[in-house]
């Protein structure tokens, strides 16, 4: 297993984010990418028994490209300084709730849910919360969920309840959200642990009830 080399490689890439350096070290990247694909394969095999909607995920297609899209960015560095993999019902580009693994020096985390859904899906999710918010609260207060998460991310949260919804709703704070995402940081050292896939499976299992709730909006 060469995963222990991933963090040192990404640190060097951050200091040498240019094509010349990357081309010289491409063999190391290719090796680490295969390690990442292998890790995602382990997770799919283990977690796919719990959430069968991701059981057919192709680990090779779950990995994100290392190349950055710099067309609309002031930062023209050509490469990402992290490696990530994503699983969801319908694949990496699915709008449904999914599971994300992010490996980056000093910023490793597992995440789940739906980030910035399209307006039509966002409205349906809010409607589900409006009708059935007590179920969402039950999920967020469960022991398994609270073992790994501190609640939903409030990134770009609205200051007011959106129109078409009661400002006095008991679930007003959830209705203001534009994303429905949970994040669980973990130490870089865990990357080299042979049981990392087991750990990811435990955390993702705690995300599953949330994704089931969110995915009702797509039924």
pLDDT attached to residue 56: 96
Output the CA–CA distances (angstroms, integers) from residue 213 to 25, 122, 142, 193, in the order listed. Answer: 44, 13, 14, 32
pLDDT attached to residue 44: 98
Residue in the block written with tokens 């993702």: 204
Average pLDDT, the chain: 95
% of the chain beyond a pLDDT of 90: 92
Give which of 47, 49, 32, 19 is closest to 84, Cα–Cα. 32
pLDDT classification of 146: cutoffs 50, 70, 90: very high
Residue in the block written with tokens 């059935």: 132
> What domains appear along the chain, each with residue ranges and CATH number?
3-218 (3.30.930)
- The answer, yes or no, to whether residue 9 has pLDDT greater than 60, is yes
Q: At what angle do helices 119-141 and 196-215 cross, to 10 degrees?
A: 120
pLDDT classification of 169: cutoffs 50, 70, 90: very high
pLDDT tens-digit series, residues 129-141 = 999 999 999 999 9
């Amino acid at each position: 297993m060469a995963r222990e080399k991933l963090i040192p490689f990404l640190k060097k890439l951050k200091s040498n984010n240019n094509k010349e350096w990357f081309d010289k070290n491409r063999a190391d990247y290719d090796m680490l990418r295969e390690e990442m694909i292998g890790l995602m394969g382990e997770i799919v095999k283990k977690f796919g028994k719990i959430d069968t909607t991701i059981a057919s995920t192709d680990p090779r297609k779950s990995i994100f490209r290392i190349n950055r899209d710099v067309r609309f960015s002031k930062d023209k560095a050509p490469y990402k300084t992290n490696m990530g993999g994503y699983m969801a019902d319908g694949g990496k580009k699915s709008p449904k709730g999914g599971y994300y693994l992010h490996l980056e020096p000093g910023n490793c985390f597992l995440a789940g849910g739906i980030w910035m859904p399209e307006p039509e899906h966002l409205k349906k999710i809010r409607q589900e919360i409006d009708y059935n918010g007590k179920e969402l609260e039950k999920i967020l207060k469960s022991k398994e969920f609270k073992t790994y998460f501190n609640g939903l991310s409030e990134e770009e949260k609205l200051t007011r309840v959106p129109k078409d919804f009661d400002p006095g709703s008991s679930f007003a704070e959830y209705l203001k959200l534009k994303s429905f995402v949970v994040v669980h940081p973990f130490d870089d050292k865990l990357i080299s642990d042979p049981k990392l896939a087991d750990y990811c499976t435990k955390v993702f299992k705690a995300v599953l009830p949330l994704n089931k709730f969110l995915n009702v909006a797509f039924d």
